[in-house]
């Protein structure tokens, strides 16, 4: 790729470079010889990693940050009035969307595996990366989370490229993968698609653009797609898990394909739902005809993703776990796993993610959370949206008779200080800033910061 990616253009500026996806793409371009800079209003570990890699990150969005940039990359989260975006438009600098850049990067590789679905994309992407790395080596992987070993961007060769394929705003339709891996489907992002049938149609288009499609045989999306291979827990699946055994929230199973029982796989991550993610990654390995024992080794090497049932600390003898779950189906899976490992009480903190999603799934949130005895609803993470009383966290808490509403780190710390005890598990759920709020509250409780 090198200097021929955009002709003679090699000076790239990322608006919002600190995001997980954007920072990974920036690291990739840096590794390919481009001059990469960017800006972000947040200071986080990804920004620190970018600076350590020699990438300048400006702490604010200002017109003058562009410097001599020839290409500007923006994510869909960047608003139209962003000063750097406006400056780029006025100067006639080429502007590329995050999804467009991902497409260009994918074209730089021989085999592209794009992982789509409403739940589990990040984990399944990382599992695929571990499988292919163990089987072939030199894999490049763009991961939508922080893998314990690979981070969010594993830089390798050009034979295999594994990436998440996000359905938001139809972004995944810009990819033309060798393998389209579809994990599942749900009525999500309907603010863009309008109806669930339009979302299904997008998944079909995504698969039709690929050379091969691998889908979950048990998910409703399988009725709309003619796959080359299926995975699941039923014997009608091409790749199946049998002899499933769970202990302490972790699972082992025997891989079966083509009617033949193959290797035993022992997962080192929590949750029965991860059997599906592991089968999806195994199906990719089998599609490329790698030996089953190497596939099993790769899956067993996977140690997890940050914010996917991650242990974030202890206080008062209680164990604190953070999970990215922000959809009712994901919350149900996280609660099931937490109950499997909890010896005392289970306390739950949930932060709704955007007002529109809360409104869309309001009854589902009420149903899945109503059985939680010790429940906190934390203030809404609004992301790109403006306040909407019908979809706010306080409204959700008011419809849950068992819930306490909290909106500051100090309140959260004081609540835990007076509530948790030895043997309890505190489960922190949400895709917004609740992860950082919970860690800050824990720091205060453990004397690292004043309560």
Residue 118, marked binder: yes
In the numeric block, which tokens belong to residue 427?
């489960």
| E strand or H helix that includes residue 266 | strand 260-270
Tokens 């995001």 identify what position? 19
In the numeric block, which tokens belong to residue 127?
């599992």
Residue 117, marked binder: yes
Q: Which of 195, 200, 192 is nearest to 168 (CA)?
A: 192
Tokens 């990438």 identify what position? 55
Tokens 């000063």 identify what position? 83
Give the C-alpha separation, 437 to 408, whole Å: 8
Give the C-alpha separation, 133 to 160, whole Å: 9
Residue 230, marked binder: no
In the numeric block, which tokens belong to residue 270?
């929590």
Give the C-alpha separation, 107 to 279, whole Å: 26
In the DSSP assignment, the letter for residue 379 is P
Residue 417, marked binder: no
In the numeric block, which tokens belong to residue 338?
């937490």
CB atoms within 10 A of CB 156: 20
- Tell me how many degrees the CA angle 71-72-77 measures, rounded to the nearest 5: 160
Are 72 and 93 a contacting pair, CB within 8 Å?
Answer: yes
φ, ψ of residue 58 in degrees (nearest 5): -75, 135
In the numeric block, which tokens belong to residue 118?
């409403």
CB atoms within 10 A of CB 245: 11
Residue 120, marked binder: yes
Give the C-alpha separation, 166 to 148, whole Å: 22
Say whether 258 sits in a helix, a strand or coil. coil
In the DSSP assignment, the letter for residue 168 is G
Residue 119, marked binder: yes
| E strand or H helix that includes residue 318 | strand 318-323
Residues contributing to the annotated binding site: 117-123
Residues contributing to the annotated binding site for ATP: 117-123
């Amino acid at each position: 790729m090198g200097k021929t990616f955009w002709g003679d253009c090699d000076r790239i500026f990322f608006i919002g470079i600190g995001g997980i996806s954007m920072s990974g793409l920036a690291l990739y371009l840096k590794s390919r010889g481009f001059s990469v800079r960017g800006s972000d209003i947040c200071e986080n570990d990804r920004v620190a990693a970018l600076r350590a890699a020699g990438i300048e990150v400006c702490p604010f969005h200002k017109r003058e940050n562009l410097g001599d940039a020839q290409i500007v990359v923006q994510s869909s989260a960047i608003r139209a009035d962003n000063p750097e975006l406006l400056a780029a438009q006025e100067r006639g600098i080429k502007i590329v969307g995050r999804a467009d850049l991902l497409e260009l990067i994918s074209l730089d590789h021989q085999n592209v595996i794009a992982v789509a679905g409403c739940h589990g994309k990040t984990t399944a992407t990382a599992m695929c990366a571990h499988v292919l790395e163990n089987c072939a080596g030199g894999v490049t992987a763009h991961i939508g989370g922080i893998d314990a070993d690979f981070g969010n961007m594993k830089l390798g060769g050009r034979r295999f490229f594994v990436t998440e394929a996000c359905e938001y705003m139809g972004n995944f339709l810009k990819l033309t993968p060798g393998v389209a891996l579809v994990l599942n489907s749900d009525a999500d992002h309907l603010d863009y698609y309008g109806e669930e049938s339009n979302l299904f149609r997008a998944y079909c288009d995504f698969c039709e653009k690929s050379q091969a499609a691998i889908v979950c045989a048990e998910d409703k999306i399988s009725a709309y797609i003619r796959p080359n291979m299926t995975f699941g827990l039923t014997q009608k699946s091409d790749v199946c898990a049998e002899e499933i055994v769970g202990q302490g929230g972790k699972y082992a199973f025997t891989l079966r394909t083509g009617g033949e029982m193959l290797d035993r796989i022992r997962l080192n991550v929590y949750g029965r739902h991860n059997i599906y993610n592991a089968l999806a990654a195994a199906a990719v390995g089998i599609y490329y005809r790698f030996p089953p024992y190497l596939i099993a080794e790769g899956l067993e090497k996977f140690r997890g993703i940050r914010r996917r049932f991650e242990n974030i600390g202890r206080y008062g003898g209680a164990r604190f776990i953070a999970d990215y779950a922000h959809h009712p189906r994901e919350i149900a899976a996280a609660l099931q796993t937490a109950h499997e490992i909890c010896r005392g009480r289970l306390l739950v903190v949930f932060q709704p993610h955007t007002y529109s999603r809360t409104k869309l799934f309001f009854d589902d949130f009420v149903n899945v959370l109503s059985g939680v005895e010790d429940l906190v609803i934390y203030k809404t993470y609004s992301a790109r949206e403006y306040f909407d009383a019908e979809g706010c966290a306080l409204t959700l808490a008011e419809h849950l008779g068992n819930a306490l509403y909290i909106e500051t780190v100090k309140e959260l710390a004081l609540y835990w200080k007076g509530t948790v005890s030895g043997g309890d598990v505190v489960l922190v759920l949400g895709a917004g800033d609740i992860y950082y709020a919970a860690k800050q509250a824990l720091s205060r409780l453990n004397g690292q910061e004043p309560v």
